[in-house]
Amino acid sequence: MDKIKTILIVIVLIFAALGIILTAGFLYSLLQLLLLVGVVGLAGYIGIRLLTNKSPREVESPSRPERQLKQVDRTLEEYKRKLLK
């Protein structure tokens, strides 16, 4: 009886060790896949940001005429001040 119990305990230990190794391998593969997806996602994000870079003219174009009018008003006020002095 003792020999059978010993053999069964050894078999259980072998299966437990294989299960632990299998779980560790699965977690390592999952971590590797997550890292790969992260690197590809980061590269895609950087590529999109570089390709869709807007120039300052496009960003300022809606408010640009307003700024020009303000500058013209300021210039006129300066000329008026100089003439009145």
On whether both 49 and 17 belong to a single domain, the answer is yes
On whether both 63 and 25 belong to a single domain, the answer is no
Structure tokens that stand for 33 in this block: 């896949």
On whether both 46 and 63 belong to a single domain, the answer is no
Domain that residue 26 falls in: 1-53
Q: Is 35 exposed, middle or buried (0-12, 13-18, 19+ CB in 10 A)?
A: exposed
On whether both 60 and 45 belong to a single domain, the answer is no
Q: What is the pLDDT of residues 16-59, one digit of tens each?
A: 999 999 999 999 999 999 999 999 999 999 999 888 877 655 55
What pLDDT score does 57 carry? 57
Report residue 13's pLDDT band, with 50, 70 and 90 as the boundaries. very high
Asked whether the whole model's pTM tops 0.85, one would answer: no
Q: What is the pLDDT of residues 21-30, one digit of tens each?
A: 999 999 999 9
On whether both 3 and 25 belong to a single domain, the answer is yes
Closest alpha carbon to 41 in 30, 53, 52, 49: 49
